[in-house]
Amino acid sequence: MMQQSVDIEALNQQIQIESAFIDDIKRATGEVIVGQTYMIERLLIGLLSKGHVLLEGLPGLAKTLAIKTLSNAVKADFQRIQFTPDLLPADIVGTMIYNPSKNSFDVRKGPIFSNFILADEINRAPAKVQSALLEAMAEKQVTIGKESYKLEEPFLVLATQNPIEQEGTYTLPEAQVDRFMLKVNIGYPTKTDEREIINRFIDGTTNKVVEPVVSPDTILKARDLVKKVYMDDNIKNYILDIVFATRNPEENGLASLKNLIAYGGSPRASINLAMASKAYAFMQRRGYVIPDDVRNICKDILRHRIGITYEAEAENITQEDIIDNILKTVQVP
């Protein structure tokens, strides 16, 4: 126990030094994005824990701008793909082009071959196009013809999505939704923040381009350090209790939720909740995870992994309501 305590103390000191770039990124993005601290933090968690992020919100809430600004702050390759109903899978991953001078086919790589991929309005395209991202997101590689090509790290898909009730949108396949570590719901800014947005437009300071403040190598080193953040077995059990409560609520003192949940979180939910909690602790400049880290990130990990029944929809019960009930009931270590 003494050795473990010394190790955690040393890890804390190391994180205090090597996590300083988080403040640099927040400061740089704050020069362009007014408010939306919650969204920026979730994007950083995805970046630090190798997890893809799905942002959902009404148009005009700076989703695209936030992702573009973050990519500028990290000196890495960036590609924006506007998803439309006529987009083809080859438009994303690339295709084989015939070269008459060589009498052979050459590979023309698509925009997926970048560090940051902004999949803008991902649910504007049909399922076939959406599924073209699956191999890249899961395996960090794409297949063109007979060859597979590795994608360079860091590789992160940041997708924006309009609410499904809007006209001209398609439901994302469940298999693809599960590939996103986080699903973040974006709301309207406060009156104070929106007043500042107006001021910046009037002053003409809204077109500022953020200069890079960190390199991709810094992100890769930080990812290795995030993995080392200490997580006690009690915290791991707490994560498992939460996820299992979404699958078998009646066995966890939540019998009232049984008829409201169609299916619970997959094993990816447990893995991602653990990794995101470590990343959140890293951003708080700590070398160990506490229950509050798990609770703070829980909704973003689970809201797209819990299926609700028609009965829940009829009663206007959402995934967030179910997660709140679970967090109130599951014993905190």
What are 198-209's pLDDT values in tens digits? Answer: 888 887 666 677
The reply to whether 261 and 141 lie within a common domain is: no
In a domain, 226, yes or no: no
Distance CA 92, CA 330 (A): 43
Mean pLDDT of 233-248: 94
In a domain, 114, yes or no: yes
The reply to whether 25 and 119 lie within a common domain is: yes
Structure tokens at 160: 């924006």
Q: Is the pLDDT of residue 6 over 50?
A: no
* Per-residue pLDDT tens digits for 47-93: 999 889 998 877 777 777 887 888 888 888 888 888 888 888 888 88
Question: What pLDDT score was predicted for residue 324?
Answer: 93
In a domain, 54, yes or no: yes
% of the chain exceeding 90 in pLDDT: 27
Q: Is 167 helix (H, G, I), strand (E, B) or coil?
A: coil
Amino acid identity, position 203: D
Distance CA 285, CA 189 (A): 27
> Do 98 and 57 form a contact (C-beta atoms < 8 A)?
no
The reply to whether 239 and 186 lie within a common domain is: no
The reply to whether 41 and 149 lie within a common domain is: yes
Q: Please report, for the domain that includes residue 49, its CATH number.
A: 3.40.50.300
The reply to whether 187 and 280 lie within a common domain is: no
Residues 6+ apart with CB under 8 A from 121: 82, 83, 160, 161, 162
Question: What pLDDT score was predicted for residue 129?
Answer: 77
Domain boundary among 188, 220, 252: 220
Distance CA 241, CA 107 (A): 48
The reply to whether 263 and 142 lie within a common domain is: no
> Do 55 and 63 form a contact (C-beta atoms < 8 A)?
yes
The reply to whether 161 and 244 lie within a common domain is: no
In a domain, 278, yes or no: yes
Closest listed residue to residue 86, CA positions, set 120, 129, 121:
129
In a domain, 205, yes or no: no
The reply to whether 155 and 264 lie within a common domain is: no
The reply to whether 26 and 120 lie within a common domain is: yes
In a domain, 269, yes or no: yes
Q: Please give the backbone phi and psi of residue 184, each rounded to the nearest 5 degrees, phi first.
A: -110, 125
* Per-residue pLDDT tens digits for 20-56: 899 888 888 888 888 788 888 999 999 999 889 998 8
Mean pLDDT of 176-185: 87
- What total of structural domains would you count in the chain? 2
The reply to whether 131 and 242 lie within a common domain is: no
> Do 105 and 96 form a contact (C-beta atoms < 8 A)?
yes
The reply to whether 177 and 306 lie within a common domain is: no
Query: 73 lies in which domain range?
Result: 2-198+214-220
Amino acid identity, position 317: I
Upper half-sphere CA count for residue 270 (Cβ side, 13 Å): 16
Q: Give me the chain's average pLDDT, please.
A: 85
Q: Please report, for the domain that includes residue 250, its CATH number.
A: 1.10.8.80
The reply to whether 14 and 127 lie within a common domain is: yes
Residues 6+ apart with CB under 8 A from 264: 243, 244, 245, 246, 247, 248, 305, 306, 307
Question: What pLDDT score was predicted for residue 295?
Answer: 95
* Per-residue pLDDT tens digits for 249-272: 888 888 888 889 988 888 999 999
Closest listed residue to residue 156, CA positions, set 179, 175, 178, 123:
179
